[in-house]
Structure 1
Amino acid sequence: MTESSRSATSDPFWRCAMCGTPNPSRTYLTQCLGCGGPVSAAIVTAVADREATPPRRGRWIALATAVYAVFILVILALIAWVGEDWWGVTVLLFVPRWLYLAPVAVLALASGLRRKPSHWIMQGTVGLIVAGPLMGFSFSTAQFWSPRVEGTSFRILTYNLGPGPIDSHRLIQMIERERIDLICLQENVEVNLAFKAYLDRGWHRDRSKRLASRYPIVAHLDSLEDQSTNDGWYSAQLDRVRIRTPQGLEFVIATAHLPTIRPGLNGVLNGDLTRLPLQIQWWRTQLGRVVSRMSETGNVPILIGGDFNMPSDDSSMATVRSVFRFAFEDAGRGYGYTRPSRFPWFRIDHLLASPHWTFTRCWVGNDCGSDHLPLIAEVVLPPTGQPAVPSPR
């Protein structure tokens, strides 16, 4: 085979052996563009074979994209239906989920280099699934399409003050700017003297000092009994009070703090797989105690704010959603991550309400020094006190 025919089988151009002119590899070209000499039969055959054979370039990228799409769907199914029943899924719950976007970006770049833009449709779909359901993106249409909810409006804040120093001035400014009516606190509630002094002026507080209300407290309800052990198994905390507004409406507000499973997760990183399942079971037991105690209020409207130490898409938290409404899922926009405060990637702080209430807004507050971010919601209680229609998402 001549040099010109050999080039035609693989290159978009072939070079004429007589005059050296490069010619495009096309079946309709019968003469050299330079010297006008006839094209050899070998070149015509090679070009025809080349055009008849579909290019295999980039097939591995399409296959890898399909495999990754199945992987993402499996992850979603495990989180929704298995949850903490298997410790491996619990680890997935706390992994930064934006990491799942990295393979999509690599595959999209490879498709671009291989000149396969058609792959971007599937890759874009996988990216939307990751950035949407997997990362917990919420977009409530309640603020745009739902009719105005009639009733008394309140603004509630839940905040785990954490171990670090709190910027009291910034926290107080946020509470006043956002016109907060009800506050649910967890951890170190009496450490910051400036913030304590602020709450002691004009706010009604419960005996545990974890709850604060601009409305009078008419009853202190029983707290959850402490079941903490000496070997580091911490009990859930739950404090409740009954509030009465000037209009005569009464409701219960509660603050909850469930035990963390961080030691078990750290054990997995260190190769110890025995502690995490035990801590998960302990957490589920404590969650059951909290839900059972909150359900004792009967038909009285109740608001709960707290650090549940578990993302809301966990299967056990989904069970809680069948009893209570979640503020951010009902009325939030975006991701609403609250932990860690510097570079948050998951939300373990939640605001819940009985079906009597309707959440109209929910958002994350400013960083005031804790390792958590505060979560704020606006919620409406109809004058009848009857369960309201669920807000569309």
Structure 2
Amino acid sequence: MKTSKPILSSLVWLYLVCIGAATVLMYALGDRWWPATLLLFGPRWVLGLPLLLLIPLALWRRRFLLLPLGLSLGILVWPLLGWNMVLSTPKAVPGPRVRILSLNTNDGRIDRDALAGLIEALSIDVVSLQELPKWFALPILEGWHTRRQAGVAIYSRYPLERGRSVVTAHPPHLNKRLSGLSAVVDAPQGRFLFCAVHLPSARYGLQNVVSRGLGVDPAKAALLRDETLGREHASRLVASLAASASLPVIVAGDFNMPRQSRIFRDVWGGFHDAFAETCGGYGWTFYDNYKGIPVRLPIDHVVSANGAVPLDFLVGPDVYSDHRPIIADVGLPPAE
């Protein structure tokens, strides 16, 4: 079937408008309005599927249309999917540095030998683990200093001084859960506050708005709205704990939100983001499937403040969790 040039032109320009509108919608109203929140946490890559048809048709019928299609592709791969570009390498920090590893263990269902090998091979200084069952143990961490509470743990090669924890409600559930666990690390490189986080997920609200199959149920949008308010409240409490520290501070863990999230930008925007400042690409850390559709999101982060500056960031290999481990080098202020 032949496609006339006017129809093809209309489709191409309409697609450009739609992909641009989707991007603006996600950044402006994600975590504010349920369709934009679905887009924020959903498989955004599917919005690129029309290009598989439009580009060959443009090559065949009207090559001038490759220009708006190229612009559409640029919008898709850069702001919509969140491609990160680092234009300059981080400046050398004269002071010491520490190496951080964080992983959501998926209730302990991971390859513990693989994780242990990673910790040993990379000479990790501090480990943040989330979704940690009571029975979980890692032989390589025996003898390390530990702070552990309600499924979140901090392991350190160096002595830990007990810090505060943040426990929050997670609407619509009435039970409270741990969102942040902190400790002062007394490292030879310098003392710093380390906070392991496992912030509330948007999963429950999203699953209620998305009905059976691939339909949506706007009548349940209130559940997602209440959950979003709870997520923002928990995030602000943990960020307040971190920001109140007089020492250099490093926060690592499962934030349960991509960096395109309004909550992440509003609450954590004043912190250094290790991935955004040192690493190119998408930084996907969460790998899942919904109804057979792959979902890839960057929801695990390392951020720092008070003189702690990110120097490097790496998404580690699969250790059989739905999350990938993240590793970051963070520079500390030189001792006075």
Same fold (TM over 0.5): yes
Counterpart check, 1:322 vs 2:273: no
Structure 1 residues 204 and 142: CA distance shift in structure 2, 3 A: farther
Aligned to 2:232: 284
CA distance in 2, matches of 1:102, 1:228: 36
Distance 1:147 1:85, change over 3 A: closer
Task: Tell me the amino acid that sits aligned with residue 264 of structure 2.
Answer: M
Amino acid at match of 2:302: L
Do the aligned partners of 1:155 and 1:181 also contact (CA within 8 Å) in 2? Answer: yes
Q: Cα distance 1:316–1:230, how it changes in 2: closer, same or farther (>3 A)?
A: closer
Higher relative contact order (CA 8 A, sep 6+): 2
Runs (5+) with no aligned partner, structure 2:
212-216
Amino acid at match of 1:128: G
Which runs of structure 2 are paired with 1:314-353 in the superposition (5 Å)? 314-340=261-287, 345-353=296-304
341 and 173 in structure 1: CA distance in 2 versus 1, 3 angstrom threshold: farther
CA-based RMSD: 2.3
Q: Is the 8 A contact 1:312 1:318 kept in 2?
A: yes
Map 1:224-235 → 2, pairs under 5 A: 224-227=166-169, 231=173, 234-235=176-177
Q: State the distance in 1 between where 2:132 and 2:23 align.
A: 36
Cα separation, 1, equivalents of 2:223 and 2:140: 41
Matched AA of 2:197: A
Which residue identity lines up with residue 324 of structure 2 in the other structure? L
Q: CA deviation at 1:375?
A: 1.2
Change in Cα spacing, 1:94 to 1:225, as seen in structure 2 (3 Å) is closer
CA distance in 2 between partners of 1:137 and 1:362 (Å): 15
User: What is the aligned partner in structure 2 of residue 239 from structure 1?
Assistant: 181
Q: How does 1:1-393 map to 2 (within 5 A)?
A: 57-114=4-61, 116-143=62-89, 146-163=90-107, 165-193=109-137, 195=138, 197-201=139-143, 203-208=144-149, 210-217=153-160, 219-227=161-169, 231=173, 234-247=176-189, 249-270=190-211, 271=217, 272-297=220-245, 299-340=246-287, 345-383=296-334
For the 8 Å contact 1:158–1:305, the answer to whether it is kept is: yes
Q: Conserved in 2, the CA contact under 8 Å of 1:332 and 1:362?
A: yes
Determine what percentage of the aligned residue pairs are the same residue. 29
SS of match in other structure, 2:63: coil
Unpaired segments ≥5 residues, structure 1: 1-55, 386-393
Cα offset, 1:234, TM superposition: 4.7
Alpha-carbon distance between aligned partners in 2 of 1:384 and 1:62, rounded to the nearest angstrom: 63
| Distance in structure 1 (CA, Å) of the matches to 2:94 and 2:67 | 44
CA distance in 1, matches of 2:46, 2:170: 36
Distance change in 2, residues 1:125/1:109 (3 Å): same
Tell me the alpha carbon deviations over residues 140-179 of structure 1, each in whole angstroms, 9 at most, x when there is no partner: 2343xx5422221211111111135221111111111222
Check the 8 A contact 1:153/1:380 in 2, yes or no. yes
Aligned residue for 2:319, secondary structure, equals coil
- Separation in structure 1 between the aligned mates of residue 306 and residue 18 of structure 2, nearest angstrom: 36
What is the letter of the counterpart of residue 121 of structure 1?
L
User: Is the contact made by 2:145 and 2:159 (CA closer than 8 Å) also made in structure 1?
Assistant: yes
| Matched position secondary structure for 1:121 | helix
Shift in Å, 1:374? 1.1
Q: Please give the TM-score of this superposition, normalised by the length of structure 2.
A: 0.88
Aligned to 1:3: none
Secondary structure of the 1:85 match is coil
Tell me by how many angstroms 1:204 deviates.
1.4
1:254 deviation in Å?
0.6
- Report the residue type matching 2:141 in the other structure: L
**SS of 1:313's equivalent?**
coil
Alignment length (residue pairs): 321
Give yes or no for contact 2:172–2:227 (8 Å, CA) kept in 1: no
* Cα deviation, residue 99, structure 1: 1.1
Partners of 1:308 and 1:348 within 8 A in 2 = yes
What SS class does the counterpart of residue 165 from structure 2 fall into?
coil
- So what's the TM-score if we normalise by structure 1? 0.76
Deviation at 1:337, TM superposition (A): 0.7
- In the aligned structure 2, how far is the partner of 1:152 from the partner of 1:309? 30
Distance 1:164 1:225, change over 3 A: closer
Residues 230, 110 of structure 1: CA spacing in aligned structure 2 closer, same or farther, 3 A cutoff? closer
CA–CA distance in structure 2, aligned partners of residues 79 and 230 of structure 1: 24
SS of 1:318's equivalent in the other structure is helix
What is the DSSP-based 3-state SS (H/G/I as helix, E as strand, rest coil) of the residue aligned with 2:329? strand
Return closer, same or farther for 1:228/1:104 CA change in 2, 3 Å cut-off: closer
Q: Deviations over 1:367-387 (max 9, x none)?
A: 1122211111111113168xx
**How far apart, in 1, do the equivalents of 2:224 and 2:153 lie?**
29
Change (3 A) 1:236 1:77: farther
Instruction: Give the Cα separation in 2 of the matches to 1:147 and 1:301.
Output: 18
1:251 counterpart SS class: strand
Q: Distance in 2 between matches of 1:111 and 1:207?
A: 58
